[in-house]
Structures are given as structure tokens and as C-alpha cells.
Chains A and B, each alone.
Chain A
Amino acid sequence: MLEIRNLHAANDGNEILKGINLTVRKGEVHAIMGPNGSGKSTLAKVLAGHPQYEVTAGEVLYEGKNLLEMPPDERAREGVFMAFQYPIEVPGVSNAQFLRLAYNEKRKHHGEEELDPLEFKDLLKERAKVVEMDASFMSRSVNEGFSGGEKKRNEILQMAVLEPKLAVLDETDSGLDIDALRVVAGGVNQLLTPDNAIIVVTHYQRLLNYIVPHYVHVLAGGRIAREGGKELALELEEKGYDWITSVDGGKGTGAGAPAN
């Protein structure tokens, strides 16, 4: 589904990603971990097409197509979704309006009929259950006045409505208390199918107790420093990131992701 080859990316001339290789197949959950400044959020944003980052080398194939050539909105309509670390507030636009617009833009893109407000209301009601979200959130402006936890739940609601093939969750656990974390992770798990894939970007292991990854990739200095199964995350939790970043490379596991 996703093939990242030797990806280099820069922000304002500073190279942040220095050759990322990653393969994600259908049905897989990948965790991208790493210390602050390792480039993990940059990777998420580059995949979503954030204009602030310039890809300086490498390629990204998504379902065989050149992802980097697509503008961000087309990536989204093609099924790439990024849950934002800091979801943006959109005053004056209700959650329901926004979601219906986004949903219908995707439907149109795929040659399907748009849903009218009533049909969409039913769908939205159904999907809102995934993140245990109250109907009152639908008529409120997108993220405006939402708590940190509510914003993150709203991201997962958007994911539930848009049904991406590839979801990239950028530090979705940051700022969540344990209850909210459980709800958000529970929502993500409900959305995982054999036909889609999820990349979880996180600093801490605790989210991975709930969303269990098939593979863990550890970024350091803009490269993947180590790869392994879910036990790697536990090891990191115990030892911290220092042992990876100090022992340069450490990518002894060879090319490709190890078998689960």
C-alpha cells in the first residue's frame, strides 16, 4: 500500500528526514517512535503534503502511484488521512457541515453520489459512536472551544467518517488522559480492517498498549535507527531512547520490517 524509499525532506533549508525507507501493507499497524526532533512528526506531515516541508530526495508510492505528486486534498480523497497533533479550530463552520462537505468531496472524487444532509446525519450518528461522541458536538464549530481530548476524538471521528485506506496518527496520544486515550484507541481499533493500514506516530509506548502495532520503527536523526516488533516499544519504555541514539545505527535487523 505504501512504499517510502530513501525519503529526504527539509524545512526551511534544514534537512530533517535523511533517507527513510518504510513499507506498509494492508491490514498492518506500524508505530513510528523516536525522541523529540527525530523527524517523526515531519514524516507524518510530509505524507499528508504539508506545504512547509520540501521533499529533497526519494519517493513515496501509494497504491503504486506517486504520492508526492498529488496535492494534499487529492491525497485525502485518495484515502490518506492524517490525524493532526494539534487539530485546527475552524470558527463558524459546524462539525456536521465540515464533515459532510469532506465526505461528499471524497464521494464525488470516486464517482459516487453525494449524501444529502439527512442521509449524512444518520451516517454521522452511527460513526460518532466509535469515539463515544455526543450529538451536541456536531452542531458546534469545528474544534472551537474543544478540550484537548475532545479535539483528538474529533480527529478520530473524521477518520471514522472518511474511512481512509491509510491513516497516519500524529501524536494522537499527546495531551490525553487515560480515559480519553482508551476511547481514542478503542475508536482506532474499531476502524482497522484487513484492507486498510495505520501508522501511529508516538513518543510514548503507552498508546501501543491499546493500539498494538505489528511493527515498530524508531527514528533518530532523521533516519530509522532500529526496527522490530511490538516488544521493541516495551524495551524503549524501559530503557529510554538514549541507547538507540548513542549506539549509532543499531539497525542490525537488516532491510525491511521483521516478521511479526
Chain B
Amino acid sequence: MVTELVKSENHYLTAFRELVPTMPWLELVRSGAIDRFEQLGFPTVRDEEFKYTNLASLAKERFQPATRAVEVIADVERFAYPETAGAHLVVVNGFLSEELSTRTGLDDVVAIDLFSAVADARYNKIARKYLARNANYHDNGLKALNTAFLQSGVFLWIPKNVKLETPLQITFVSDASSAKSASFPRLLVVAEENSSATLIESFVSNDDASHFTNAIAEIVLKDGARLEHYRLQNENRSSYHVGATAAELGRASSYDATSINFGAQLARHDVSVVMDHEGAECWVDGLYVAGANQHSDTHSVIDHKQPNCTSHQLYKGILDGNARAVFNGKIFVREGAQKTDAMQTNKNLLLSAQARVDTKPQLEIYADDVKCAHGAAVGQIDEEELFYLEARGLNPELGRSLLTYGFAEEVIGKIKIESIRAQLDEAVLTHLHTRLEA
């Protein structure tokens, strides 16, 4: 069994040796990462962080790392939210496509290929300073694998005091033109002092073919910077999606993140926010919806290292069929991080008797003058609420859909981009039932 696993992971090592050589610094990063991956391999259920998420089937499948950009995606605009008004980068199988991307309204904002940024004298220093800094691959085989296959990606730099008015969208498309592809999207965001922007990351599949996405976004907010960040994962049902979002917040900065997980047969999202400067505030919210045999796992770490920081976290889950979800939310309040205000809530709605969720909120507090609260709940549709709707003429199925929609609305409702809200409403209200039963 073990031999078999090791063998199947070997093909990543083979693929690594075939990568096109690049700049010495990046070569160093990549080879360090592949060495680490060789040692760690894919996480197993013996790893506490993967206790409920079994990656054995992913490890066994021979996904082939994508090695070049696909420049043709029919009607790529269909993935764009209209509010972005032409600020739309398209990354296919991990490679930024210049052909498919448009940069209307970005002005002073730099949104370029991560590789070119490393090579560019203007951005080289920033890129080298922050790349692979917050997404540490030394203790995680998946992050190591992503880093080993750094070949492109997006470098997003928002200069000091620049306020980006329209949202910037980055669509990560998986395309099966090369069969069973593994892609390793990488995003580095550096928002300089007092800048502000809205970023949409959207993960989609261009077809129904099985694929493996292993994505990392690293986000650096300097003092007073503000970022509204939407991460929407709606890949096809035969795909595997593992993703990490790692943010560090500057003094009095504000990070408002919403992660929506609808897609993939197996989805894992690790989100971490480090608050190492006073007065930072973050919202780390999310919604996961899973049906049939889907598995959706969210692990979050909010790390309060300095005083006077505030974190708000609301994660909701809707599970149907044989779906399984995991929520693990850690909040650390480090020694000296006085006047920390940390709040975490995880609520789950089970629509079937077979659906299951493992939720584990964890608070570790090493300071004494703090305000912290956390809670987790798992429930079903309330029969009294359902009867109320039936008594107004809604059939039970419609009533359940409406209550489910209402449950999701607490998260969806705070999304400030209307077309995203509308798409999610539609997905929950109209398609939830059929989608989940399918």
C-alpha cells in the first residue's frame, strides 16, 4: 500500500525534472519545495490536520502537471462578473493567459505574470520578499507541491494610496485539453499603504473532465490597506481542489474575505490570517454547499499576535445527500495581544440523514484582557418554520429550499457585488435541490 502510494507520487518528481529551467532564485525555491514534497508526500489521515479528509484517492490518481498555457477558451467572458468591467485576468491550468486577459481600469495597479515580476527590476524585490513567505510549504506537502511547480501565476501590486474602484477578477480555469491535468495556480497580492481594492478569485472548470487544482494565494496588506476578497470555488464534480489563502495584515489594515465552496468532489481550503500589527481587522467568512458524495473541508487559522486587533468569522455549511464537511477553526491570541476581539461562528444545516459534518472550533488564548467567543451548531430544517411556509401555500419542497436559502443568506447577503450574490442566490434557491440530488 505504502509502496504503491510512493510510486504514484513519483510521477510528480518525474514531471518536475522536465520543467523548463528558469531564473536561479526561482530554481532554488522550486527545488527546495520538491525536496520537501518528496519527504512529506500527500498528507494522510494520520496527520491531525487531515484527520477527516482522506487524500488517498487523489494521491493515487496520476494527474499530469500542466506545463504550458492554453490560450484558447471559448467565450471566456461568460466567467466574468459584469461589475469588473473588463478588469479580468484569466489563468488557464495555472498559467496566466495574456490572450484572454483584459486590464480595463487597472491604471496604476500592476497585475502581471508572477514569473515576469520576479524577472522585472521594478517588482523583483517585492516579489522575492513575499513569495512563499506566508504560505509556508515546510510542513505541508500540498503547498510544497504547488511551490515546486511554480511556472507562472499572478503578481498583483496595488501601489500606495491607490484606490481601485472596480473589482478585479482573476478566473482560474481548468481545461482538460491535456487529459487529467494538475494545475498549480499561484497568486501574490501586495497592497501598499492606504491602498484599497476588491479582488475576486473564481475557480471554474471548462469541461467535465476530472482535474486536480492545487492553488495558493498569498496576500500582504501594508499599513492602512483595505482588501475585499471573494474566493469562489465552483469546479466540476469530478475534480479535486485544494487551496490555501494566507494573509498578513499591516497596522490598521482591513481584510474582508468571503470564501464560497460549491464545487469539486473533494475540496479543501486552508485560510490563515496573521495579525502581527496593531489595529488590524479581518472578516473571514464562508459558505460551503455540498451534496451527493462531495467532501468539503475548511481549515482556518486566525493568529492574533499584537494588541487591538479584531477578527470576525462566520462560516455556514449546507449538506445534502452523502456529503461530508469539515470545519476546523483555530484562533490564537498570543501573549501580549491585549484587547483582542475575536469572534467565530460555524453553523451547519443538514438536509439529509446521511450528510455529516465534523466541526471543531478551537481557541487558544495566552493574553488576559481579551474578548473572544466561538460557537458551532449543526441542525436541520426547523419543522415549525416549514409549517409556517406551508401554511402560506408553499409546498414542502419549496419551503425547504426557501429556508435553506435563508440560511445561506447570512453569508451571501454581505457580498457587495450584486452579480455574485445573484448567482449564488440562484444556485441555492433554484438549483440546490436538483443540483444536490443529481
Contact = CB atoms under 8 A, between A and B. Distances in A.
B413 interface: yes
Contacts of A109: 393
B398 A105 contact: yes
Interface of A: 48-51, 71-73, 75-77, 81-82, 84, 87-88, 90-93, 98, 101-102, 105-106, 109, 141, 158, 162
Contacts of A141: 406
A72 B391 contact: yes
Nearest to B401: A101
From A51, A72, A105, A106, residue with most partner B Cβ within 10 Å: A72
A98 B410 contact: no
Contacts of A105: 393-395, 398
Contacts of B392: 76, 98, 102, 158, 162
A76 B406 contact: no
Main SS class of interface, B:
helix
Contacts of A91: 406-407, 409-410
A243 to B, nearest CB: 35
Contacts of A84: 388, 391
A94 to B, nearest CB: 9
Nearest to A105: B393
15 contacts: A48-B391, A71-B390, A72-B387, A72-B391, A73-B395, A84-B388, A88-B384, A88-B385, A91-B407, A91-B410, A93-B406, A93-B409, A101-B398, A105-B394, A105-B395
A32 B97 CA distance: 73
A109 B394 CA distance: 11
Interface in B374-396: 383-385, 387-396
B403 A90 contact: yes
Nearest to A107: B393
B394 A102 contact: yes
Contact of B393 (A76, A88, A92): A76
Nearest to A83: B391
Contact of A90 (B383, B391, B393, B406): B406
Contacts of B91: none
Interface residues of B, number: 24
Given A51-B383, A105-B395, A92 B407 contact: yes
B42 interface: no
Pairs A-B, 5 closest by C-beta atoms: A92-B409, A92-B406, A76-B393, A88-B388, A72-B390
A76 B407 contact: no
B408 interface: yes
B402 interface: yes
Contacts of B115: none
B287 to A, nearest CB: 12
B405 interface: yes
Nearest to B388: A88
B388 A102 contact: no
Nearest to A103: B393
B393 A87 contact: no
Contacts of B385: 88, 90
B409 A90 contact: no
B410 to A, nearest CB: 6
A72 B387 CA distance: 8
Contacts of A87: 388
